[in-house]
Chains A and B, each alone.
Chain A
Amino acid sequence: MLLWERRRNALVLAGLIAFHVLLISIQIPQGSRKSYFERGVFFVYAPVQRLAAATVRGLGSLWSGYFDLRGVRRENQKLKRENFFLNQDIRFLQDRLGLAGTEAELRANLAAYEKTLVAARVIGVDSVNPHQSIIIDKGRLDGLDKDMAVCDRSGALVGRTIAPVGFKEAMVQLVTDKDSSVSVRSASGPLTGSVMGLAARLCELRYVLASAGEGKPGDELLTTGFDKIYPAGIRVGTIQKVERDEASPIFLKIVVKPYFDFGTLDVVAVLTKGPGDRP
C-alpha cells in the first residue's frame, strides 16, 4: 500500500506498458487477423469518423450547394451517381462478354452479377500510411463482409474488404498495401503473376520468370480470379517498368502503376458476390 502511494505513477506506467507488450505479443502470431479487442476499438470510434466525414461533406456541399447553382448541382450529382453505376455495368458486361463462350454461358454470367454492386463513400484513410487502407461508409447492414472486391468509379480495382467490418463501416485493404497480393494476367499476352503493394503509389508484379521474356511497359493487367477473392477480368493497372531483379536474377522486377487514383478516391463500388459465389 505504501509502495502504491509512493510509486503510483511509475506503477501505472509499468502496468500500461505491460498491457501494450501483451497486446503486441498476441497480435504478432495472428498476422493481419484482427483481435476482438481491436475490432471493439474500431466499432467504438468508427461512428466518430463517419460523423467527421459527414461534417466535412455537409460543410462542403453547403458552401457549393448554396453559393453555386443549386439546382444544377443536384442534377449533376444525380447524373454522376447514374454514370457511376453505368460505368461499372459496362465494364462488367465487357469483361463477361470477353470470357463467355456461348450465349447460355453469357446469360449465366450476367445473372450472377445482378444486384451485386454496393456504392460506398470513403470516410477515412489509414492513420499511419494512406496507401495501406481506407474506411468506407457501408458495412454488414448493407450486405458487406470481408474479402469482397472494391472498385473505383471507372471499375478499376482498388482493393478488398478486410476485418473489421462494422455495421455501417468497413475497412478496405488497398492493392498498394505491402501485404496485398492480387493474381493477374496480361490483357495482351500470356503473362501471369501477382501484383503486390509497396505501401506507396506503385506496385510490383512478382513471380515472372526472367527467361519467359514477357511483359513490356504499357501492358494492361487484369485479375485472373485464381485467388478466389477478386472476380476475373477487373482492370488492375499497367506495367510501367521492366528490369532484371538484382536480388533474385531468375525473376523480373516489374513495376506496376495501379489505375485507381488515390487523390480522387471518394466513391467506390463493392462487389458483394465473389468468384466463389458464381453458379
Chain B
Amino acid sequence: MRETVATDVLRAFLGTMAAVFIYSIAGAGAPALMVVFNAFSIVVLYFAVRRGEMFGALLGTMCGLAQDAFSLGVFGVGGLTKTLLGFWAGYVSRRIDVVPFSRNALFVLVMSVLEVVLWVLLTALVRLRAVNLEGGLLFVQPVVTAVLASSLFALERWIARRSSRGA
C-alpha cells in the first residue's frame, strides 16, 4: 500500500516534470500559444484516463500547483481545478468507454470545458474582478487542448496496433 502511494507520487512528480517541459517548449516556440492550449491539462487528462481517478487527482494537484507557480494568479486556483479535472477524467473514463476516437474527443472536450469554466469562476470569485478572457481566445483553449489530447490517445493506439501487428 505504502509502496504504491510512493510510486504514484514519484510518477506524478515525473508527469509534472513532463508537463513543465512541454509548457516551456511551447512558450519558447510561441508565447501566444499559452492562451490557446494548456500543456498541464493534456498531461493530467492523459494520465488520469490511463491510471484512474486517484492518480489523476494527485497529478492534477502537482501540475496545477506548478502552473500556478509560473503565473501571477492566485496560488492554488489552478491546483484545485486540475485536481478536479484529474479526478473527473479518471472517474468517468472508468465507467464509460472512451476508447473510440470520436467519443474520446468529445469526452476530452467536455472535461476541458468544465475545467476552464471552473477556473474562470474561481478566479473571478477569488480576485473579485472580471477575468481577462483574452478577447475570447481563452474559450478556444478547451478545443485546442481536446484536439491535442485526443490526438495523443489516437497516436498511442496507432503505435500499439503497429507494434502488435509486428509481433
Contact = CB atoms under 8 A, between A and B. Distances in A.
A254 B84 CA distance: 41
A178 B132 contact: yes
B78 A128 contact: yes
Interface size class of B (residues with CB under 8 A): 35 or more
Interface residues of A, number: 49
Contact of A129 (B28, B35, B69): B35
A271 B78 CA distance: 32
Contacts of B134: 129, 200
A133 B72 CA distance: 7
Contacts of A49: 20, 23-24, 70
B66 to A, nearest CB: 5
Which of A24, A51, A56 lies at the interface centre, i.e. has the most chain B CB atoms within 10 A of its CB? A24
A177 interface: yes
Majority DSSP secondary structure for residues of A touching B: helix
Interface in A146-187: 173, 177-179
Contact of B80 (A21, A52, A53): A21
A132 B21 contact: no
Interface in A19-60: 19-21, 23-24, 27-28, 32, 34-35, 37-38, 41-42, 45, 48-49, 51-53, 55-57
Contact of A133 (B17, B66, B71, B79): B71
B20 A16 contact: no
Contacts of A129: 34-35, 71, 132, 134
B26 to A, nearest CB: 9
A78 B126 CA distance: 48
B73 A41 contact: no
Nearest to B23: A127
B17 A128 contact: no
A62 interface: no
A48 B17 contact: yes
Interface stretch (A107-115, A118-126, A230-238): A118-126
Interface of A: 8-9, 12-13, 16-17, 19-21, 23-24, 27-28, 32, 34-35, 37-38, 41-42, 45, 48-49, 51-53, 55-57, 123-130, 132-133, 135, 173, 177-179, 198-200, 262-263
